[in-house]
Amino acid sequence: MTNRTVTLTDPQSEKTLELPVVAGSEGDPTIDITRLNPELGYFTYDPGYGTTANCKSDITFIDGASGILRYRGYPIEQLAERSSFMEITFLLLYGELPTASQLRDFQRDITYHTMVHEKVNSFISGFHYDAHPMAILSGVIASMAGFYQQNLDVNNPEHRELAAKRLIAKMPTVAAAAYRHYMGWPSAYPRNSLNYAENFLHMMFSVPAEAYEINPIAAKALDMLLILHADHEQNASTSTVRLVGSTGANPYACVAAGIAALWGPAHGGANEAVLRMLHQIGDVSRVGEFIKRAKDKNDPFRLMGFGHRVYKNFDPRATITRKACHEVLADLGQNDPLLDLAMKLEKIALEDDYFVQRKLYPNVDFYSGIIYKALGIPTTMFTPMFAIGRTVGWVAQWMEQSASPHRIGRPRQIYTGHGERDYIEIDKRD
């Protein structure tokens, strides 16, 4: 808390209220409005919470104007280039980079939780073959409360840590099983000899008929993408996890709610929507037509993978994935015309006043799908890939909230309905 205050004067009551200014270690200061209603009788109105902080957090910092993203103070560019997904998972959960022995122990803990109860596989087999994998993921993760709920006390830090490790470890196993269900392939169990990204590729693509060779380029690219998706402060799905967690619900229910929120095309579902959009555009000659549609208020079409609530500059993750697209496709000896199309679409959009004035830049979802596609991951699995990475941020933020005193989340509203009126018996209604 600073000593600074802001003063509000209500012309109606002529009352004046001094509200404290709360400053974090970085970022814009906030006004603590908790006394606004009891002392001045007002609520605040902030649809979409564009100007409202719902918590204090030490985990991730974003400066939208400068395109800055840091996990526990470390710039995302350095982590993507030099760290690993397991290392940043430790960082996000515990606040510091691990020593070699801490990382080894942590990696072992996660590895030994990658299997799921065999009944989970029979649960997945109950879904229609073409069920969207996000439907399977949200359903199965919520069901895990039935397997691991026994005496789970969310107020016990050891119980919280075990649940966090289970969720991080099992998310790829369930996601890969959802894909294999669609393919009609038998389950592929995790291999303890493989690292996190290698294990996912094995669980996704290995078939009993032959040995599966892990492509190190694919594993490295996947590990980097998981780092980029791990956390992003109070985005819609993380805020959902916090809101559900604020009721004391178990972590499996919280993360299942986060998966549901992430699925929307305005959020994590955008990576799938970008690929569909690029296929729909098809050729650079049609880019103008789609840019026109994106600008037309009467057309619900939006340029998927563009724009962001916080970034009013390049999303640093988009800059990293754009560069990685070229490297990964070149390393894999692939050439994807969709990358050229995406680059041209980005160039044309960023020269158009509509996008420039609204500070609409490519976000994390604009290029990530092109890399997933190059790794052989089907479009419907793109959002589950986002969920695998973001599970770390969800559980880190849930642990942070659960470890300190907090109130149940309960926003207010502006009521615009009828005033009081008396009940009318049905035979008297016209």
**Residues with catalytic roles:** 267, 308, 365
Binding mask 340-369 for ligand SDX (x = CB under 6 A): ------------------x-x--xxx----
Instruction: Decide if 142 contacts 252 (C-beta within 8 A).
Output: yes
- The verdict on 303 binding ligand SDX (CB under 6 A) reads yes
Q: Is the dihedral of CA 84, 271, 61, 255 positive or negative?
A: negative
Instruction: Decide if 386 contacts 340 (C-beta within 8 A).
Output: no
- CA 332 vs CA 324, 325, 417: distances in Å: 12, 11, 59
Please identify, among the stretches 129-137, 193-201, 207-215, 296-304, the one whose residues bind ligand SDX according to the rule CB under 6 A: 296-304
Q: How far apart are the C-alpha atoms of 234 and 62, rounded to whole Å?
A: 10
**CB 410, min distance to ligand SDX, A:** 22
Which residue from 117, 302, 312, 344 is in contact with ligand SDX, where contact means CB under 6 A? 302
In sequence order, the 6+-apart residues with CB closer than 8 A to the CB of 148 are 163, 166, 252
Residue nearest to ligand SDX (CB): 307
Segment holding 65, helix H or strand E: none
Which residue from 164, 281, 294, 345 is in contact with ligand SDX, where contact means CB under 6 A? 294
**CB 277, min distance to ligand SDX, A:** 10
- The verdict on 70 binding ligand SDX (CB under 6 A) reads no
Rounded to an integer, what is the distance from CA 397 to the centroid of its chain?
A: 12
Please identify, among the stretches 112-120, 297-305, 374-382, 407-415, the one whose residues bind ligand SDX according to the rule CB under 6 A: 297-305
- The verdict on 308 binding ligand SDX (CB under 6 A) reads yes
**CB 245, min distance to ligand SDX, A:** 17
Tokens at 111, concatenated: 């590895």
Instruction: Decide if 103 contacts 351 (C-beta within 8 A).
Output: no
**CB 417, min distance to ligand SDX, A:** 25
Segment holding 124, helix H or strand E: helix 118-125
- The verdict on 235 binding ligand SDX (CB under 6 A) reads yes
Binding mask 214-233 for ligand SDX (x = CB under 6 A): ------------------x-
Number of CB atoms found within 10 A of residue 317's CB:
26
CA atoms within 13 A of residue 278's CA, in its CB half-sphere:
26
Edge-to-edge strands of the sheet including 60-63? Answer: 60-63, 68-71, 74-75
Nearer of residues 213 and 296 to ligand SDX, judged by Cβ: 296
Please identify, among the stretches 26-34, 120-128, 262-270, 407-415, the one whose residues bind ligand SDX according to the rule CB under 6 A: 262-270
SS3 138: helix
Number of residues that bind ligand SDX (CB under 6 A): 22
**Per-residue burial over 362-395, b = 16 or more CB atoms within 10 Å of its CB, e = otherwise:** bbbbbbbbbbbbbbebebbbbbbbbbbbbbbbbb
Please identify, among the stretches 12-20, 147-155, 267-275, 406-414, the one whose residues bind ligand SDX according to the rule CB under 6 A: 267-275
**CB 12, min distance to ligand SDX, A:** 31
**CB 231, min distance to ligand SDX, A:** 8
Nearer of residues 206 and 239 to ligand SDX, judged by Cβ: 239
Give the angle 166-168-173 at the CA atoms, nearest 5°.
85
Tokens at 180, concatenated: 């294999």
Please identify, among the stretches 99-107, 136-144, 158-166, 298-306, the one whose residues bind ligand SDX according to the rule CB under 6 A: 298-306
Nearer of residues 174 and 345 to ligand SDX, judged by Cβ: 345
Q: Which residues of the shown chain bind ligand SDX in the complex (CB under 6 A)?
A: 48, 232, 235, 266-268, 270, 294, 302-310, 358, 360, 363-365
